[in-house]
Amino acid sequence: MTSARTPVTLAAALLVVGASACTSTSAPSGGKRWRERLIEPLSQPTIFESPVIDSQLRPIVMLHTIPDDNAALPDADVRIYALQARFALSDKLALIATKDGYIQLEPSGGGDEDGFADIAGGLKYAFYEDSDAGVIVTGGAIYETTTGDEEVLQGNGDGVIRPFVSAGYDGGALNVLGLVGYNHPLDADAESTSFDYHVHVSYEVTPDFAPLIELNGITWTDSGNALGVNFEGGDLINLGASDADGSLLSAAFGARYRLTEMLSLGAAYEAPLSSREDILNDRITFDLVWSF
């Protein structure tokens, strides 16, 4: 099994490589707005938050499969339909709704379930921004409720508080985003504690089309006491596993295409890089970002 240090080391290495590459590109145009220069990250959208402050609606569809050797949910298909919303209260502050939607869970052995996901939302604030240098750093906090349905592994515990810091660097055609977040359950027996880290690198091969690669890591620092298993639920589900300690690292490959100045379409394929998979066999994420 991959050690807890490995994802952190890989994430740090990718950040260094991305930053080095950015320094070799031409300086960004200071006249453009951030939402025109830094594209939205694609994978793990409920926890990988962009540092950009803007207003948008973002419908999302995720097609997720669970490994066939998972004893609890072998070879299950999961479909998630969600709508995120963000509203800029000022140039620095935005209200964000990051998690909601409807989940369909279909184990291979039958017993299909469907229901609503927990709802999460909060605020983010850009405390540093230099449009000429192409740098923005944003901090935020999110509260995840327990309003979801237990049939689809939601609605447990007393909620989760999630502070995070997100940053972006615009190097012209090449962009880098990064985020570190911490997930603190209000009921530590019902849900596990973790921190997560993400890196996004994209390159505009044309003004409207940008291939991208993203690295996502989650490290569980404190197990729950709700379920006697040695795996966790990743970015969407918190099982409160009694033996959750460890790390999961995954990579996503995809692209974003700008349909109009206000609309962009994205698609990405994600799979584990670490020997630990938990409930992630693979996932395809589609979204449509309408910025206004």
- How many domains are contained in the chain? 1
pTM of the entire predicted model: 0.87
Q: How far apart are the C-alpha atoms of 159 and 156, rounded to whole Å? A: 8
Dump pLDDT digits (tens) for 66-83: 998 776 676 789 999 999
185: which residues sit within 8 A by CB, 6+ positions away? 157, 158, 159, 160, 191, 192, 193, 224, 238, 240
Quick one: pLDDT at residue 22? 40
CATH number at residue 108: 2.40.160.40
pLDDT tens digits for 86-117? 999 999 999 999 999 999 999 887 789 999 99
Tokens read off for 243: 């033996």
Domain that residue 16 falls in: 5-291
- pLDDT tens digits for range 121-171: 999 999 999 988 889 999 999 999 999 999 999 999 999 999 999 999 998
Decide: 196 and 235 in contact? Cβ < 8 Å.
Answer: yes
CA nearest to 22, candidates 231, 277, 247, 200: 200
